[in-house]
Structure 1
Amino acid sequence: MKNRVFEEFLARFGSGARLYAAPGRVNLIGEHTDYNGGFVLPGAIDRCIWLAVRPAAGRRSRIWSVDFDEGIELNIADEPPRVSWARYIYGVVSEMARRGVDVPAFDAVFGGDIPSGAGLSSSAALESVFAFALNDLSERKLTPVELARAGQMTEHRYIGVRCGIMDQMISLLGERDRVMRLDCRSLEYEMIPFRPEGCRLVLIDSMVSHSLAGTEYNLRRSQCERGVAIIARHVPRVTLLRDVGLDMLDTYRSEMDEWVYRRCRYVIEENVRLLIGCDRLRSGDYAGFGEKMFESHRGLSQEYGVSCGELDFIQEIARGYDGVLGSRMMGGGFGGCVLNLVSDGACESFLDEVDRRYAARYGLHPRTIDVVIGGGARRLE
């Protein structure tokens, strides 16, 4: 895809392009905690959005998508484009302008090898590669964290997804063989080694599509906010679920409906699981880390209510399979993938077992995606 993007640029716009890449991501544990000010543990992957770009005269930018086989002309003085993928680029340029960057007009071609619909944050990779590249082409430089905020606000203002900042942070700042323990309130982070010798990460795609802009994602966020608002009436220092412990939550449980209570309880417990999991990674205890992955899925399915029958079915097979150290659904939910930490010796037979049983139950063959933890956004020579 990298070569294809570069060759497409040559054919459409000629020479002079710079080439950039920004990766998708997996999140090992810590789901739906980011917008609650909690902790997440993502890793960048070796699948990217590739971008060839050069400055252009005037105010109108010409952009071609290899993946969608279509192009647009863009000017941030105009209304946001109707083409869905173009709104991400329009949003990034607009958000950078809000932050004082005079983004030049540009010619660009982009394409990706991030599997679509698998919850690997191809949208954040698209935002990040354009933000990183346009920042490189501009005189006024933003920090990676400022670029991540520009990507996050693109989602909020132009896409309608009230996401956290995890996806953009790891896409911009990821490191090979390391995962990021990110504090989503302070944006402080620690890069933790992730080199599980003798085992590997593999995604199993349920082939059930999902939409993060759907009502259920935003509903979960509003339920968490309602729980915080109830507690804050009694404890004014509370502004996010990050500020709440289980004892405090239980103190005011009677003022919440059952669903608000369960959503809040899941988030609080997930933060604790993640911090324990990080300790286990630091000590090289990958089996112990896998236990926290199993617990995370149970919470996502039973307490937060964002799983589905297909995801639960795959995870049940994993939980009962010798050689699978950990397994959990990943992403916004209601479809997408299950992330598995599997010993090398068991991986092939495990995937065969899932394929056979899933096809018998649902009439579909799930897609499998090997995960390699790679680097963040970068310019390529």
Structure 2
Amino acid sequence: MSASAIAAAFQRIFSTVPLVVRAPGRVNLIGEHTDYNGGFVLPAAVDKEIYFAVALNGLPVVRLYSHDKDERHEFETTQLQPGPILWANYLTGVVAGFQQQGIAVPGFDCVFGGNVPIGAGLSSSAAVECGLALALNTLLQAGLSRMELARLSQQAEHTHAGVQCGIMDQFASLFGKAGQVVLLDCRSLEYAYFPFDTTTCRIVLCNSGVKHSLASSEYNSRRQECELGVAVLRQYYPQVRSLRDATLAQLDAHQPELGDIVYRRCRYVVEENQRVVLACQHLSEKDMVAFGQLMYASHAGLRNQYEVSCAELDLLVAAARPLPGVYGARMMGGGFGGCTINLVATEAVDEFCRLMTAQYQQQLGRPLEIYCTTIVGGVEVEPSLVLP
């Protein structure tokens, strides 16, 4: 699905010329479930993207069309409550976010579609939110910064999709840079870019085919377990505002009070934050072997301590590990399905894809979708399709 195809579909349906926006999905090299704990993440925007065609319509009604689902939805600009159509809720939440900022949103038409796999852990939801947010910010000349758009989009997911996500996904979609990964401090929102050379090492995603839903109770329960751990630690260490501030020694000292489950959840987050900091050092040194070992450790923690992996993801990581040219592999995203992210030497990618596909088919009797990704820039207006 291309930008021009979405623009053409819009013109067929609504007979006007739209503003067209590209919104990328994201990968996260390391730092999973740390964002809502005030920690560190290392994401990048990739060339799996959703395109938006948007134009004001002069009506008090928003008319949406999901090109991929071939579904339509309309709502009045005064009726912004979540409804039964999940994909529409993300967009309704963005409109509500603008209005909460005191920015009146008139009626508009929107057609969107793309190639971000749904439920694969590439954060299609954040791409949907951020794409519309930038389009409305542009059309309304609202003047919101990219960070304000990220926060607005994150809040849309909280209020209208019921997912208490951190800010990483929306940040990565809006702040991505071609050929760069970005270290984000999810507490201070300070960030730094690190070059990532995809000519020598490719980011290859293996889709387990297991659909996950971040709106499931499991995701929010992990956040609640972390908050419970912080509440216990704060009784003894008032400076601990989030697990970002906690140490392994503090967790060990209060393990009985925390209980087994909360202790393991908290230990994973503290260790994962340490891994992100180390990973950036290895990236600066171009030591992909050491970087990859941290990815394997991350997956082990997600599987055993945080318990958000599944049999298919574990199989994919185990299958990748001994293959030639593989530096590292782990599950990526919220968990319970979706993709593994693999760092593979460029010359080994074709053989990697062949062997992984064969193993998945042999062991599970299922085809394996594989995506070789390129790191791209964040959400932007398509320059060749700007309104005259």
State the TM-score, normalized to the length of structure 1: 0.97
2:6 pairs with 1:11? no
Match of 2:215 among 190, 213, 216: 213
Report Cα offsets for 1:168-222 as digits up to 9, x if no partner: 0010111000011001111111111111442211001111111111111111111
Task: Tell me if the contact between 1:65 and 1:109 (Cα under 8 Å) persists in the aligned partners.
Answer: yes
Q: Residues of 2 paired with 1:80 and 1:123: CA distance? A: 15
Matched ranges for 1:64-103 at <5 A: 64-78=65-79, 79-103=81-105
Give the drift of 1:63: 1.6
Matched ranges for 1:276-295 at <5 A: 276-295=278-297
Task: Tell me if the contact between 1:87 and 1:159 (Cα under 8 Å) persists in the aligned partners.
Answer: yes
Letter aligned with residue 301 of structure 1:
R
Give the drift of 1:227: 0.6
Match for residue 163 of structure 2?
A: 161
Letter aligned with residue 144 of structure 1:
R
Give the drift of 1:314: 1.0
Letter aligned with residue 179 of structure 1:
V
Task: Tell me if the contact between 2:60 and 2:106 (Cα under 8 Å) persists in the aligned partners.
Answer: yes
Pick which of 233-242 and 33-42 moved more: 233-242
Q: Residues of 1 paired with 2:63 and 2:170: CA distance? A: 24
Q: Residues of 2 paired with 1:197 and 1:5: CA distance? A: 30
Letter aligned with residue 34 of structure 1:
D
Report Cα offsets for 1:80-125 as digits up to 9, x if no partner: 3332111111100001111122222211111111122211111100
Report Cα offsets for 1:214-256 as digits up to 9, x if no partner: 1111111111111100001111221210010111111211211
Q: Residues of 1 paired with 2:82 and 2:33: CA distance? A: 28
Task: Tell me if the contact between 1:101 and 1:141 (Cα under 8 Å) persists in the aligned partners.
Answer: no
Matched ranges for 1:1-381 at <5 A: 1=1, 2-78=3-79, 79-381=81-383
Q: Residues of 2 paired with 1:289 and 1:67: CA distance? A: 37
Q: How many residues align?
A: 381
Q: Residues of 1 paired with 2:317 and 2:363: CA distance? A: 14
Give the drift of 1:358: 1.6
Give the drift of 1:263: 0.6
Give the drift of 1:322: 2.7
Q: Residues of 1 paired with 2:231 and 2:366: CA distance? A: 43
Task: Tell me if the contact between 1:287 and 1:326 (Cα under 8 Å) persists in the aligned partners.
Answer: yes
Task: Tell me if the contact between 1:102 and 1:140 (Cα under 8 Å) persists in the aligned partners.
Answer: no
Report Cα offsets for 1:9-51 as digits up to 9, x if no partner: 1111113311111100000000000010000000000121101
Task: Tell me if the contact between 1:203 and 1:371 (Cα under 8 Å) persists in the aligned partners.
Answer: yes
Task: Tell me if the contact between 1:326 and 1:342 (Cα under 8 Å) persists in the aligned partners.
Answer: yes
Task: Tell me if the contact between 2:24 and 2:45 (Cα under 8 Å) persists in the aligned partners.
Answer: yes
Q: Residues of 2 paired with 1:213 and 1:317: CA distance? A: 29
Pick which of 136-145 and 186-195 moved more: 136-145
Letter aligned with residue 291 of structure 1:
Q
Match for residue 386 of structure 2?
A: none
Report Cα offsets for 1:140-164 as digits up to 9, x if no partner: 3211111111111111111111110
Instruction: State, as a whole percentage, how many aligned pairs show the same letter.
Output: 47
Secondary structure at the aligned position of 1:201 is classed as: strand
State the TM-score, normalized to the length of structure 2: 0.95
Letter aligned with residue 272 of structure 1:
Q
Pick which of 202-211 and 346-355 moved more: 346-355
Give the drift of 1:295: 1.2
Letter aligned with residue 134 of structure 2:
F
Secondary structure at the aligned position of 1:186 is classed as: coil
Secondary structure at the aligned position of 2:273 is classed as: helix
Secondary structure at the aligned position of 1:32 is classed as: coil
Secondary structure at the aligned position of 1:327 is classed as: strand
Secondary structure at the aligned position of 1:58 is classed as: coil
Cα 1:97–1:207, aligned 2, differ >3 Å: closer, same or farther?
A: same
- Which blocks of at least 5 consecutive residues in structure 2 are unaligned? 384-388
Secondary structure at the aligned position of 2:270 is classed as: helix
Q: Residues of 1 paired with 2:33 and 2:73: CA distance? A: 34
Q: Residues of 2 paired with 1:370 and 1:311: CA distance? A: 18
Task: Tell me if the contact between 1:202 and 1:341 (Cα under 8 Å) persists in the aligned partners.
Answer: yes
Q: Residues of 2 paired with 1:340 and 1:315: CA distance? A: 8
Task: Tell me if the contact between 1:196 and 1:286 (Cα under 8 Å) persists in the aligned partners.
Answer: no
